[in-house]
Amino acid sequence: MAILEVKNINKSFGKTEVLKGVSFSLEEGQVLSIIGSSGSGKTTLLRCINFLETADSGKITVDGDVLFDSESTEKLSSKQKRDKQLSIGLVFQQFNLFPQYDVLGNVTLAPKLRAKERPDFKKNKAQIYAEIEEKALKLLNQMGLSEKVHNYPCELSGGQQQRVSIARAMALEPKILFFDEPTSALDPELTGEILKVIRELAETNMTMVIVTHEMNFAKEVSDYIVFMDQGVIAEEGKAEDIILNPQTERLKAFLNKVNDK
């Protein structure tokens, strides 16, 4: 059974159709990369899956739990919607860290807010917070940031800030981790360190969806690649097949343009 199923997603902004019947599925532990030119609908697709945008129609299911179904008459409460969102972690292009919190505070903020909903929170607050911080410290160590725990975002490099944002996304134990162009805001010399982190996550069988313009990286780390063009999936398949043996003229043209840069 697929951990993520996206069926016939459509999304328009005014008269502009951005997504036109997009469908795909992903098995647990797999890495899917989504490639395509700017304006092809990649980021809008991620935002619809993450509830940052609401699709006009279609259905999205994560691990058997329906996140969105345009044909359903059920109206989700704010809490139900938030609970569904927690199954998905999102790492943004821009790091979106809270400047008023140090590194540890950024990573523990959401888990601590979530913990307040636990029935035993008042009785066991200190223990619960200690456990959250211990887990956050392990994640930061995994990201190579154990010495930056009490630094603030303004004191970190772009690569370090992006690693904090990855740790923050993982702190809520999402079933799927989404990356939206995770290296686009970084200098080329810092790109490698983020790609290394994502490779290491792939080796742990973390289920991931990555919107990326790094074609060699996509080929190396992905099980499957989707090529989007003008709001539709124009070609999809195994990573090496898509990158090394494109079947459509549109994908060939895109790869030639990317490789010429």
In this prediction, residues 215-239 reach a mean pLDDT of 93
Judge contact between 124 and 110, C-beta under 8 A: no
pLDDT band at 261 (very low <50, low <70, confident <90, very high): low
Q: For residue range 177-212, what is the model confidence (pLDDT) as tens digits?
A: 999 988 887 777 788 888 889 999 999 999 999 999
Judge contact between 9 and 28, C-beta under 8 A: no
pTM: 0.90
Type and span of the H or E element at 198: helix 188-203
The three-state (H, E, C) secondary structure of 37-102, written as one string: CCCCCHHHHHHHHCCCCCCCEEEEEECCEEEEECCCCCCCCHHHHHHHHCCEEEECCCCCCCCCCC
Write b or e for each residue in 165-178: b if 16 or more Cβ atoms lie within 10 A of its Cβ, otherwise e: bbbbbbbeebbbbb
pLDDT band at 65 (very low <50, low <70, confident <90, very high): confident
pLDDT band at 164 (very low <50, low <70, confident <90, very high): very high
- For residue 121, what pLDDT is reported? 93
- For residue 260, what pLDDT is reported? 65
Q: How far is the C-alpha of 138 from the C-alpha of 8, rounded, in Å?
A: 39
In this prediction, residues 213-221 reach a mean pLDDT of 89
- For residue 170, what pLDDT is reported? 94
- For residue 26, what pLDDT is reported? 94
The yes-or-no verdict on residue 129 having pLDDT over 70 is yes
pLDDT band at 128 (very low <50, low <70, confident <90, very high): very high
Q: For residue range 136-159, what is the model confidence (pLDDT) as tens digits?
A: 999 999 999 999 999 999 999 999
For residue 217, give both structure tokens: 């990286």
Judge contact between 93 and 185, C-beta under 8 A: yes
Instruction: Tell whether the torsion through CA atoms of 258, 158, 140 and 97 is positive or negative.
Output: negative
- Greater confidence, 217 or 107? 107
